[in-house]
Amino acid sequence: MFELLGIPPQAFFGQLLLGLINGAFYALLSLGLAVIFGLLNVINFTHGAQYMMGAFGAWMLLNWAGIPFWVSLVVVPIVVGATGVVLERVFLKHLYHLDHLYGLLLTFGLALIIEGLYRQQFGSSGQPFVNPIPGGTNLGFMFLPYYRGFIVVFSLVVCMATWYVIERTKLGSYLRAATERPDIVQAFGINVPRMITLTYGFGVGLAALAGVLAAPAYQVSPQMGSSLIIVVFAVVVIGGMGSILGSILTGFGLGIVEGLTKVFYPEASNIVIFVIMVIVLMIKPAGLFGKQK
């Protein structure tokens, strides 16, 4: 049997696919962060908590109201996105003219409060969630659970659609224009503050969507977001702050790198992304896809 870099090809392709699955979550989450940072200039540290709210939203609908997962996939992001809109109207909008640090502190504090409330209510070890599409198929080199396959396809579609809307449509061009020169866009009769509010709601909705997707795959627990969010920030930094395509590509790419590290040197799998971040920042301080302003 031939071997690739010291491991059997089955294992290699298996790990590649698993990396892609994890990358799907990184991509969805970093996309939301990139959209918010790109248009609002706010580093949204509440993102992890909003991802967790998405997972718990699906759990609550299923266990308290018997509403199936597929409905949650649509409803929960909208509801959590709406809480984001409220958040933006009440708190965030007062901070745009201040230093990034204020937005960071506010959102970080909110994240701690939200996580604390959920922990108080649901405990720290989490809640079970039934897999909506059990079973899987044998690909020859590995057993692929149907649900994991669905995650990859679904998040790819969502990422691409988001990229298309922002980069290729009229609405997207308004959004991009509003980030560059809000005063001029406003002068053309476009309601910039409302657009920004909705953008934040959309970014938060993306986080919640990733949360709903994660519920059947991972444990639904209050700290599920905080353990992921640091990696996701590294992904955004590597991709280039605010770059939509960059965050998608680096999300998937780093998922794969991390997956392979889990085979070659498992002990380093939780730091490999940060090592890459350091290297990228040294060579391209604006990130792989970022533009130097």
Partner 1 sequence: MTFRPSFVKTAVAGAIALLAGTASAQYSDGVIKIGVMNDMSGLYADIAGPGSVWAAKKAVEDFGAAAKGMKVEILAADHQNKPDIGSNIVRQWIDVDKVDAIADVPTSSVGLAVNQIVREKNKVHLNTGSATSDLTNKACSPNTVHWAYDTYMLSNGTGKALVKTGGDTWYFLTADYAFGHALERDTEAVVLANGGKVVGKVRHPFPGQDFSSFLLQAQSSKAKVIGLANAGGDTINSIKQAAEFGITKGGQNLAGLLVFITDVHSLGLATAQGLVLTESFYWDLNDGTRGWSKEFAAAHKGRMPSMVQAGVYASVIHYLKAVEALKSDADGLKVVDQMKKMPTDDKLFGKGSIRVDGRKIHDAYLFEVKKPAESKGPWDYYKLRATIPAAEAFRPLAQSECPLVKK
Binding site for partner 1 (CB under 8 A): 8, 10-11, 14-15, 18-19, 21-22, 115-116, 119, 123-128, 130-131, 136, 142-143, 145, 147-148, 217-219, 221, 223-224, 227-228, 259, 262-263, 266-267, 269-270
Q: Name which of 175 and 263 has its Cβ closer to partner 1.
A: 263
Q: What are phi and psi of 243, to 5 degrees?
A: -85, 120
Q: Name which of 176 and 262 has its Cβ closer to partner 1.
A: 262
| Burial (CB count <10 Å: 0-12, 13-18, 19+), residue 222 | buried
Q: Which residue has the tokens 């790198």?
A: 257
Q: Name which of 143 and 164 has its Cβ closer to partner 1.
A: 143
Kindly state the smallest distance separating residue 113's Cβ from partner 1, in Å. Answer: 12
Distance of CA 217 to the CA centre of its chain: 15
Kindly state the smallest distance separating residue 18's Cβ from partner 1, in Å. Answer: 5
Q: Name which of 56 and 147 has its Cβ closer to partner 1.
A: 147
Q: Are 289 and 249 in contact (CB under 8 A)?
A: yes
For CA atoms 264, 267, 273, 276, give the dihedral sign.
Answer: negative
| Own/partner pairs, 147-153, CB within 8 angstroms, 24+ separation | 147/216, 147/217, 148/21, 148/217, 151/21, 151/24, 151/25, 151/213, 151/217, 152/20, 152/21, 152/24
Q: Name which of 22 and 199 has its Cβ closer to partner 1.
A: 22
Kindly state the smallest distance separating residue 217's Cβ from partner 1, in Å. Answer: 7
Kindly state the smallest distance separating residue 184's Cβ from partner 1, in Å. Answer: 44
Q: Are 28 and 205 in contact (CB under 8 A)?
A: no
Kindly state the smallest distance separating residue 214's Cβ from partner 1, in Å. Answer: 9
